[in-house]
Structure 1
Amino acid sequence: MTEQPGVVSAEQEQVPLVLTVPITPLVLGRLMRKNGISVSPVTLAKSCDAFQPKGARIRPVERLTGILNGLEHRQLRACQLRWDRMDRRQLPALVFHNGQWAYVEPATEDKVSLTPPGGPDYHLDPDALAQSPVLWFRGPGKTARTNSGEKGRATSLVMQELWKDKRWFFEMAAATVVINILAVASSLFAMQVYDRVVPTFAYSTLTALVAVMAIIICLDWSLKFIRARITDSLAHQADISISRQLFDHIMNLRLDTRPNSLGALAAHMKGLEQARNFFSSSIIFFMTDLPFCFFFLGVIYIIGGRVAFVYAFLLPIALVLGGLAQWRLRRLARMEVQKGQERQGLLLESIQGAETIKATGSTWKFSDHWQQLTHTMAGYGFKNKSITTTTMVTTGSLATIGYVGAMVVGVTQMELGELTTGGLIACAILGGRIIAPVAQSVRFMVQWEHVREGLEMVNRLLAMETDRRQDQETLFPDYLPDQVDLEGVRFSYPNSPIVSIDIPTLSFKAGDRALILGPNGCGKSTFLKILAGLFKPSEGQVRLGRTDISELDIQVINQRVGYLPQDVHLFKGTLKTNMALSGGVPDALVVEVAQLLGIDRVAAENPRSMDLEIFEGGSGLSGGQKQLVALSRIFMARPRVWLLDEPSAFLDLESENQVMNALKQWVRPTDIVIIATHRPRLSNMANRVLVMRRGRIVADGKPDEVIRIPGFRQQANLPVDRS
């Protein structure tokens, strides 16, 4: 079973004194303040008294959980573990020392600072706390380790693609300027018709005006069409480039820092598409269309004088209206996006686990959860649409008010002889050109909140650590010795204070055939992932051929190291494409490996043979057949270091023997083979056995020597081998 990054430890080896000693408000209050949680000392004292009856034997983690719940901080998750398994980078915490709970935080590289209740601070050697219980909780500020300086990177990514070739902007700006100037021509046409044609019925003048307007209409249509094509082309090119960069970033994410929810991870990708659409359209609008509002306002003033004051008065009202709507939508947009991610994660999880859900009769539970999320999202969506609709309708009403106001003021101007009928009509037409962009700006301001949340999602995605830094110069050596070394390696999952792996020093030489034994959750799978370079140690180094594995190019690692995960995954395709997943494998090698592992029997049972269709996740094959296909990938890669996690977990005895014989035949004498398993019978092919417990190597030696250690089977949690 693969170890999971849980935060609640099951190992509670405490003396009875720990069960009766209360947690004092002084030390707990300091811990909460350090985690950015403000709480009243009186309220904290009351909660500590209420959930810690005098003399009661209560586990410390239950005391802390009760106190936090009493303070209405149910989102904080408490954890209890021993100091020797504590990741010190997750300090501060509470530690039980000298018969009382004390606040502990880092002091220097080799010292920690303790603050007992009512006593002065003092420094202490961490080794003095080796077996002491520790209480820790995840505060709101504790997040996974990410790259720094990534805030706003999503916006920069979009803008960089949009401004890669600046020529499009000048072309669109020129087209927009001409389009808006032509809009003045339509109002002047109306003014000339009412002032010159109607009073005298001058049809020759009307014909000339119509001919000019026909030319203007054709030119206006052409320019708008060209502008739309430029925008679409720009968006298309940006989509291709940005999507590729995001996908590559996701593929290069460190597996130990990746979000647990696949739905949330997939949702992060959608944010940038929305942002790209927004920026590609809004840049033109705010830099070309919106400034022309003031141009049209000036034209109205020239034609109609005080009529322009009506639109000048309505312009700031519309902008303020949009700002208020944006402010009200900020929290709603954030909550709607979060619930959308959660719902998408639930959907993916339900589809993947449909068989288990049906078999356990828990369909109603998942359906109820889905309905709750849908109901919550619908509520947020309703409020969102209500605000948006109210804003847009009100803005539309402002246009009508502007028209009515222009007519009223225009009549007074006509009475004074300062405005003609045609001029009033022209002002009304141009007034629509002012209110329309303002209404559009309000829509953009409302839409921005959703775009901003999308950019925040992408920023969180881009801030996740990748296997290699963007500016890192990786090594590509021609030769590496067959050797794997670990020095001072410690590993903790993000947001967990538990040290999952703690190995001071360990080496594997050429020709080693090592078997790793140990109980579930002891760290075997995590250990292999660290050796494969999939997980990065929190501390220390893993060296492949005497070179830090983090400095090697990914291609070098892929050529040298072959890793079989415990959870085998097959992809949509055929049996052959799943075997030769990396491509470039000769057909002769595929056939040879298939015969070696017995996969040819799977192909022989299907009319399509090696073109047997495989669906997502390997649907259509049994667990053992999937295991053989995954093993074939390692065999065809012919690595120098073989890392196999439970290679015979789903195999029957016959298939297991065939795989073991294939390994003996296929592995070179100088290759390193490391197998994590629960089957001690595999020790027949090993020259070295390691026993893991709680992330540490507790035994390492020749198989006969390790097996003879008193209590070996109990320590490794192994069944009696009757084979």
Structure 2
Amino acid sequence: MKKTGFFHRSELTEALWTFRREFIVVGIFSMVANVLMLAPTMYMLQVFDRVMSSRSELTLIVMSLITLFFFIVMAFAEWMRSRVLVHAGLRLDGVLSTRVFNASFEARLSQTGASVVRAFTDLIQIRQFLTGNGILAFFDIPWAPIYLAVLFFLHPVLGYAALVFAAIQGALAWFGHRHTVAPSEAASKATSESGAYLQSKLRNAEALESMGMVHNLRPHWAKRHAKALELHGQAQALTHRISAWSKLIRYSQQSLALGIGALLVIDGQLSPGGMIAANVLMGRALAPIDMLVGTWRSFIGARSAFERLEDLLRTHPERDAALSRVAPKGDVLVRGLVATAPGRPLPILKGVSTAAPAGTVTVVLGPSGSGKSTLARCLMGIWPGASGEMLLDGLPLDGWDRMELGPYLGYLPQDIELFEGSIAENIARFGQVDPEKVIAAARSAGLHEMILRFPKGYDTPIGEAGNLLSGGQRQRVGLARAMYGDPVMVVLDEPNANLDDVGEAALVRAVQELKSKGCTVFLITHRPGILAVADRLLVLQDGAVVADGPRDAVLDALRAGHAAAAAAQSSPPAATSGGLQPAPV
């Protein structure tokens, strides 16, 4: 929040405030355009009341030329204010796009429900409103009293009639807002849920088709789709009814205004030119209100988008650009780490504590569901529901600037996500491609020779999500990406899940190379072959540490424990009362 005088402005409000000069310029052009809108009225009055009676062609020509000049100036003012708004909208996007992009990713990691697509949709909606007819209506409404004053000048009855029609249109706008916003939002939400459900199934189309599950899932999608159609139909029906009433009022206003003017002409209280001019003038006076009725939904949508975007930027403030630290060495210390997840009554990790000096390899073992992958995400600082201490070189991980720290970290998740682009771009993390570092990382991952067999080598495109590569190839590209540059800490989550014996041997060499460079490695695996490179073992069970220490000491302790358990199971059970015996543990 920024403070100005006695008021606090949010970051988004402050960004809009920087465009006040543009809005002032638009207001000036709007004043010119609206004042010159009186030109047609004055022209009609003069033609009917002066030219027609005097039959002076010269007067008609001069007045026509003057009116044409006013029309040209008015068109120029309309064009300029639209141009200023369009440029302001583009500049607003340039000012906020990077902030929205970064805040959206932070929101996604913290699981607050925001996404990059939704945030940028909100930004586009705000920009479109600021450059569309809706904002122009707000600039035109302050000049409506001028037209009303001219109507009162022509005859008070005409002015009061315009006020009545304005009140009716305003009441209709209020009614429409009150009764259409909620149904429209519900229909939009249901449509999004239906689309998201279908999209999630399309991502697994191969499995669904191969196992014949498409037919079974279709009713579930159809139920959501039918609900969305029903809500959309209800919202559209209400909107059409309000639109029909709006048209009735608008057409009635035009005809009644002409009828009132005709009645005043019959009574001799108004000239025929005044009757025609009053009809045009009343339409112009009510046009901004009518435009507001038509754009009210877009205004409500833009306001909601503004509130969501404002909340996003407030919740995820911009990081201090001056924050800079020396390059980390890789000493990792975890104390009392507790990881929770929404909807889960018990924590996933329960007070995990461990230490890994720089240059050591820690292998994390444990059965499925013991919290190993959650620990990997906590080590990278990307698990939202984590508490306790995760220290890198004695400093909290969240105290580092992620853009600054990122090059010093490497991460290979279980679900490897590659991105559309070339192999070199994916290995270089889509930053500036350094050929030497890319090749070095590929060699370390045992990938270099395979890449050279591709038609375009390192420039080979891999398709969306790397779908042109096999599972093992994606695993190796992900490993090379984690090793790119000079990372001081690398976390590998099941890196050998899709590797053959050759690939696993390359993985062992890669881990040994990282260790030789002083990099701290955390390796999560189920395969015992990788234990040979471990300095330390960390064993998890049900989210708690059951063993932690040097590799050989932990292995000896585990062997001793298994031997004791086996001996206990093989010994004859003691007799119990009633001839019952306890079940083996």
Q: Is the shorter-chain TM-score for this pair beyond 0.5, marking a shared fold?
A: yes
Question: Is the partner of 2:516 in helix, strand or coil?
Answer: coil
Q: For the structure 1 residues 667 and 385, does the alpha-carbon distance in structure 2 shift closer, same or farther, using more than 3 Å as the test?
A: same
Alpha-carbon distance in 1 for matches of 2:488, 2:47 = 88
Any residues of structure 2 matched to 1:26-41 within 5 Å, and which?
A: none
- After TM superposition, the structure 1 stretch with the greater mean CA deviation from structure 2, 579-588 or 311-320, is 579-588
Question: Is the partner of 1:233 in helix, strand or coil?
Answer: helix
Q: Do the aligned residues in 2 keep the contact of 1:304 with 1:424 (CA within 8 Å)?
A: no
Do residues 250 (structure 1) and 101 (structure 2) align?
A: no
Any residues of structure 2 matched to 1:634-649 within 5 Å, and which?
A: 634-649=482-497
1:330 alignment partner in structure 2: 181
1:348 alignment partner in structure 2: 199
TM-superposition CA deviations, 1:303-345 (whole Å, max 9, x none): 1231222111111111011101111112112212322332342
- Following superposition, the deviation at residue 459 of structure 1 comes to 5.3
Do residues 428 (structure 1) and 282 (structure 2) align?
A: no
Question: Is the partner of 1:665 in helix, strand or coil?
Answer: helix
The one-letter code matched in structure 2 to 1:538 is A
Q: For the structure 1 residues 526 and 278, does the alpha-carbon distance in structure 2 shift closer, same or farther, using more than 3 Å as the test?
A: same
Question: Is the partner of 1:290 in helix, strand or coil?
Answer: helix
Question: Is the partner of 1:581 in helix, strand or coil?
Answer: coil
TM-superposition CA deviations, 1:449-495 (whole Å, max 9, x none): 4334444554565466x5xx536588533264542111222121234
- Following superposition, the deviation at residue 223 of structure 1 comes to 1.4
The one-letter code matched in structure 2 to 1:245 is R
2:582 alignment partner in structure 1: none
Alpha-carbon distance in 1 for matches of 2:444, 2:358 = 24
Question: Is the partner of 1:522 in helix, strand or coil?
Answer: coil
- After TM superposition, the structure 1 stretch with the greater mean CA deviation from structure 2, 275-284 or 402-411, is 275-284
1:594 aligned to which of 442, 463, 471:
442
Question: Is the partner of 1:711 in helix, strand or coil?
Answer: helix
2:539 aligned to which of 682, 691, 707:
691
Q: Do the aligned residues in 1 keep the contact of 2:10 with 2:314 (CA within 8 Å)?
A: no
Q: Do the aligned residues in 2 keep the contact of 1:486 with 1:507 (CA within 8 Å)?
A: yes
Question: Is the partner of 1:700 in helix, strand or coil?
Answer: strand
The one-letter code matched in structure 2 to 1:224 is E
TM-superposition CA deviations, 1:247-304 (whole Å, max 9, x none): 1212334625254xx9x66234312322332244477445431122222111011012
Q: For the structure 1 residues 497 and 279, does the alpha-carbon distance in structure 2 shift closer, same or farther, using more than 3 Å as the test?
A: farther
Question: Is the partner of 1:568 in helix, strand or coil?
Answer: coil
- Following superposition, the deviation at residue 572 of structure 1 comes to 0.8
- Following superposition, the deviation at residue 519 of structure 1 comes to 1.0
Q: For the structure 1 residues 187 and 586, does the alpha-carbon distance in structure 2 shift closer, same or farther, using more than 3 Å as the test?
A: closer
Question: Is the partner of 1:614 in helix, strand or coil?
Answer: coil
2:215 alignment partner in structure 1: 364
Alpha-carbon distance in 2 for matches of 1:192, 1:672 = 89
Alpha-carbon distance in 1 for matches of 2:563, 2:83 = 73
Q: Do the aligned residues in 1 keep the contact of 2:337 with 2:352 (CA within 8 Å)?
A: yes
1:21 alignment partner in structure 2: none
1:313 alignment partner in structure 2: 164
- Following superposition, the deviation at residue 623 of structure 1 comes to 0.9
- Following superposition, the deviation at residue 219 of structure 1 comes to 1.4
Any residues of structure 2 matched to 1:84-163 within 5 Å, and which?
A: 159-163=13-17
Alpha-carbon distance in 2 for matches of 1:492, 1:566 = 19
2:90 alignment partner in structure 1: 236
1:174 aligned to which of 20, 28, 50:
28
- After TM superposition, the structure 1 stretch with the greater mean CA deviation from structure 2, 327-336 or 547-556, is 547-556
Do residues 563 (structure 1) and 411 (structure 2) align?
A: yes
Return 5+ residue gaps in structure 2 as ranges. 2-8, 567-585
- Following superposition, the deviation at residue 636 of structure 1 comes to 2.5
- Following superposition, the deviation at residue 656 of structure 1 comes to 0.3
The one-letter code matched in structure 1 to 2:338 is R
Q: For the structure 1 residues 659 and 407, does the alpha-carbon distance in structure 2 shift closer, same or farther, using more than 3 Å as the test?
A: closer
- After TM superposition, the structure 1 stretch with the greater mean CA deviation from structure 2, 166-175 or 691-700, is 166-175
Do residues 202 (structure 1) and 56 (structure 2) align?
A: yes
- Following superposition, the deviation at residue 516 of structure 1 comes to 0.9
Q: For the structure 1 residues 369 and 200, does the alpha-carbon distance in structure 2 shift closer, same or farther, using more than 3 Å as the test?
A: farther
Alpha-carbon distance in 2 for matches of 1:288, 1:664 = 68
Q: Do the aligned residues in 2 keep the contact of 1:474 with 1:551 (CA within 8 Å)?
A: no
Alpha-carbon distance in 1 for matches of 2:42, 2:418 = 69
The one-letter code matched in structure 1 to 2:248 is S
1:288 alignment partner in structure 2: 139
Q: Do the aligned residues in 1 keep the contact of 2:338 with 2:387 (CA within 8 Å)?
A: yes
The one-letter code matched in structure 2 to 1:176 is S
TM-score by length of 2: 0.87
Do residues 681 (structure 1) and 529 (structure 2) align?
A: yes
1:376 alignment partner in structure 2: 227
Q: For the structure 1 residues 254 and 557, does the alpha-carbon distance in structure 2 shift closer, same or farther, using more than 3 Å as the test?
A: farther
TM-superposition CA deviations, 1:103-150 (whole Å, max 9, x none): xxxxxxxxxxxxxxxxxxxxxxxxxxxxxxxxxxxxxxxxxxxx9xxx
Question: Is the partner of 1:643 in helix, strand or coil?
Answer: strand
2:504 aligned to which of 633, 656, 659:
656
TM-superposition CA deviations, 1:654-702 (whole Å, max 9, x none): 2101220232234226432221111122211113222101111111233
Question: Is the partner of 1:541 in helix, strand or coil?
Answer: strand
Alpha-carbon distance in 2 for matches of 1:598, 1:714 = 41
Q: For the structure 1 residues 560 and 523, does the alpha-carbon distance in structure 2 shift closer, same or farther, using more than 3 Å as the test?
A: same
Q: Do the aligned residues in 1 keep the contact of 2:341 with 2:385 (CA within 8 Å)?
A: no
Q: Do the aligned residues in 2 keep the contact of 1:414 with 1:421 (CA within 8 Å)?
A: yes
- Following superposition, the deviation at residue 539 of structure 1 comes to 2.5
Do residues 492 (structure 1) and 340 (structure 2) align?
A: yes
Q: For the structure 1 residues 674 and 341, does the alpha-carbon distance in structure 2 shift closer, same or farther, using more than 3 Å as the test?
A: same
Q: For the structure 1 residues 479 and 415, does the alpha-carbon distance in structure 2 shift closer, same or farther, using more than 3 Å as the test?
A: closer
The one-letter code matched in structure 2 to 1:173 is G
Do residues 547 (structure 1) and 401 (structure 2) align?
A: no
Question: Is the partner of 2:38 in helix, strand or coil?
Answer: helix
- Following superposition, the deviation at residue 159 of structure 1 comes to 4.4
Q: Do the aligned residues in 2 keep the contact of 1:514 with 1:674 (CA within 8 Å)?
A: yes
2:453 aligned to which of 605, 627, 645:
605
TM-superposition CA deviations, 1:486-525 (whole Å, max 9, x none): 1222121234332111235321123432211111111111
- Following superposition, the deviation at residue 612 of structure 1 comes to 1.7
2:331 alignment partner in structure 1: 483
Alpha-carbon distance in 1 for matches of 2:262, 2:535 = 103
Q: For the structure 1 residues 713 and 291, does the alpha-carbon distance in structure 2 shift closer, same or farther, using more than 3 Å as the test?
A: farther
TM-score by length of 1: 0.71
Alpha-carbon distance in 2 for matches of 1:371, 1:559 = 46
The one-letter code matched in structure 1 to 2:253 is G
Q: For the structure 1 residues 188 and 536, does the alpha-carbon distance in structure 2 shift closer, same or farther, using more than 3 Å as the test?
A: closer
Identity of aligned residues (%): 24
- After TM superposition, the structure 1 stretch with the greater mean CA deviation from structure 2, 527-536 or 321-330, is 527-536
Q: Do the aligned residues in 2 keep the contact of 1:172 with 1:227 (CA within 8 Å)?
A: yes
Alpha-carbon distance in 1 for matches of 2:49, 2:291 = 32
- Following superposition, the deviation at residue 234 of structure 1 comes to 1.4
Q: Do the aligned residues in 1 keep the contact of 2:423 with 2:462 (CA within 8 Å)?
A: yes
Alpha-carbon distance in 1 for matches of 2:233, 2:475 = 49
2:356 alignment partner in structure 1: 508
Q: Do the aligned residues in 1 keep the contact of 2:445 with 2:510 (CA within 8 Å)?
A: yes
Q: For the structure 1 residues 606 and 478, does the alpha-carbon distance in structure 2 shift closer, same or farther, using more than 3 Å as the test?
A: closer
Alpha-carbon distance in 2 for matches of 1:195, 1:169 = 40
Q: Do the aligned residues in 2 keep the contact of 1:190 with 1:425 (CA within 8 Å)?
A: yes
Alpha-carbon distance in 1 for matches of 2:238, 2:291 = 15
The one-letter code matched in structure 2 to 1:577 is E
Alpha-carbon distance in 2 for matches of 1:323, 1:243 = 33
2:295 alignment partner in structure 1: 444
Any residues of structure 2 matched to 1:2-41 within 5 Å, and which?
A: none
The one-letter code matched in structure 2 to 1:404 is S
Q: Do the aligned residues in 2 keep the contact of 1:388 with 1:446 (CA within 8 Å)?
A: no
2:79 alignment partner in structure 1: 225
Return 5+ residue gaps in structure 1 as ranges. 1-146, 148-154, 716-723
The one-letter code matched in structure 2 to 1:400 is Y
